[in-house]
Chains A and B, each alone.
Chain A
Amino acid sequence: MRNESEKNDLTQPTSVIKRLRYLVMSLAMGIFFWQLLTLVLDLPAFILPGPGLVWRRFLQSLTDGQLYQHTLVTLYEILAGLFIGGLAATSLGYLLAKSSTLEKLLSPYLVASQSMPVVAIAPLLVIWFGPGMLSKIIICSLTVFFPILINTLIGLREVPQDLRNLMRTLEANPFQTFWKLEVPAALPVYLGGLRVGATLAVIGAVVGELVGADRGLGFLINVGRGQYDTALVFVALFTLIITAMALYGLVLFIETRLLSWQYWRQGKR
């Protein structure tokens, strides 16, 4: 797992510039059609604000510190939820992979917990843990828990038996088997789970905030809606999208780094 950047297409400077150029073009196109739509339909600003208005509202909420403050709250909830939920899911996943008895005992509960959407119990959690960040962190943890647990379990189960035998003939101790075999072998599947978890964490946090909160981007959406400040709703939505994309990109970046042995070959072919 060394640096392979010079062979990795995704990180080559020329290709990054090329990708950026397309991104800028597609953004410009989107804004153009949005502007066109507002001009043609001529709707009041509280139904569909134009890009100019949203941009001014964005600058305003940026300068008064409002946007920054609420984004930070939501981001904190997401990251804390991802961390706590991820840690719990990874540990439990490891234990379940090691003991099929434990898996058989717990799997009915795990499946049952999944048939109940976390969105549905969000109001309950807000009642129990208050409108502050704690209830959102719990909602986030619960949403990310299952995909990460499952992927930990599958990743570890799929470690080839022949490689386990190899480690045994080489007299590897359990710690070495863990770090030099199980972790790298399970990592591709595990990181896939983390990527899904990162996306779900954003949803979890916003759902929690929409149900009842005194801070955060979901709260900001509610405020904008209540005041017919639709431009503010748009600002909050865009910030959410960018946050979710950045988070997804971060996990993807970690993946390409840690799994360079996989991406290297894909880039070559």
Chain B
Amino acid sequence: MNSSPEPALQVHNLGVTFRDASGVVHALHDLSFSLPPNGFVSLIGPSGSGKSTLLKVVAGLVPPTHGSVRFSPDHSKIGMVFQKANLMPWRRVIDNISLPLELKGLPREDIHAQAQELIRLVGLEGFENAYPRDLSGGMAQRVAIARSLMQDPDILLLDEPFGALDALTRERMGDELLYIWQARRKTVLLVTHSIPEAIYLSDQVLALSSRPGSIVLDLPVHLPRPRTPEMRYSEIFSELTHTLRDTLHEDNGLVQ
């Protein structure tokens, strides 16, 4: 982990318990980590390890049962991208992207100028007036990313944003995400269940155990930036992949 002065986000002894149809669920247990400012951190874990729950707690959508989530004063604005693009089907691309600032009551011309800039950033020129129905999965997810950047968030929370995409599109979107991250300098917390994706994109990968989720491995990724697709074949990359895979399998074995 970087030795930065103050973390953008500190999660301390977090525990989440909730009730569903099958009874009491311990989703997260005694979980602590911090996000360095402008860092790219990934959370990886088996299905049902509470990754999404953790992200929802950070986003303020689910209250923590124990522990705390603390943001540094200059990292309080959050942007979130969901697993599905989650666009409003009745809004055109540009109006979907404009939504966050529209809710803040900014003048329309300013909003559209900014939205236009983000459309360029995510490579969607010419699709400003398209409806979500006419977008491919990758394009829709780009709109969602542009929308999350619209309020110029300090921290970007990504909940398996490429989970629904095919492998090739997924890798390309990863590169685009890195490009955006470098252009805009955000603190990113990415939830994923793809080991190579986590390593390729992140400075640091946190592996979660199965339910109740807690951190079993905190793995720094010392690959140089900017990342290039060739790095996927490097020695370090495969070593990191092994370490992560072993950890996740081991944990699964212990539980079963």
Contact = CB atoms under 8 A, between A and B. Distances in A.
Interface of A: 1-2, 160, 162-163, 165-172, 176, 180-181, 184-185, 187, 259, 261-262, 264-265, 268
Interface in B68-101: 78-80, 82, 84, 86, 88-92, 99-100
B172 to A, nearest CB: 24
A171 B151 CA distance: 11
A172 B103 contact: yes
Nearest to A162: B86
Contacts of A268: 134
B127 interface: no
Given A176-B103, A261-B131, A265-B133, A169 B59 contact: yes
B59 A265 contact: no
The majority secondary structure among interface residues of chain A is helix
Instruction: Report the 10 A-B pairs with minimum CB-CB distance, sorted nearest first.
Output: A261-B90, A184-B90, A169-B80, A265-B133, A162-B86, A172-B103, A170-B100, A261-B131, A169-B59, A170-B103
Interface residues of B, number: 23
A165 B103 contact: no
Nearest to A177: B103
Contact of A166 (B82, B131, B151): B82
B60 interface: yes
A62 B134 CA distance: 51
Contacts of A169: 59-61, 78-80
B84 A162 contact: yes
A185 B133 CA distance: 15
Given A165-B61, A169-B59, A171-B103, A265 B134 contact: yes
B108 to A, nearest CB: 13
Contacts, number: 53
Given A171-B103, A180-B103, A166 B133 contact: no
Contacts of B80: 166, 169
Nearest to A258: B90
B82 A162 contact: yes
Interface of B: 56, 59-61, 78-80, 82, 84, 86, 88-92, 99-100, 102-103, 131, 133-134, 151
A168 B89 CA distance: 18
23 contacts: A1-B90, A2-B92, A160-B86, A162-B82, A162-B86, A163-B86, A165-B56, A165-B61, A165-B82, A167-B103, A168-B60, A169-B60, A169-B79, A170-B100, A176-B103, A180-B99, A180-B102, A259-B90, A261-B131, A262-B89, A262-B90, A265-B133, A265-B134
Contacts of B90: 1, 184-185, 187, 259, 261-262
B88 A163 contact: yes
A163 B151 CA distance: 17
A260 B88 CA distance: 14
Given A163-B86, A165-B61, A187-B90, 17 more contacts: A162-B82, A162-B86, A165-B56, A166-B86, A169-B60, A169-B61, A169-B78, A170-B100, A170-B103, A171-B103, A184-B88, A184-B90, A261-B89, A261-B91, A261-B131, A261-B133, A268-B134
A262 B89 CA distance: 8
B59 A170 contact: no
B124 to A, nearest CB: 18
Given A176-B103, A265-B131, A170 B151 contact: yes
B106 to A, nearest CB: 13
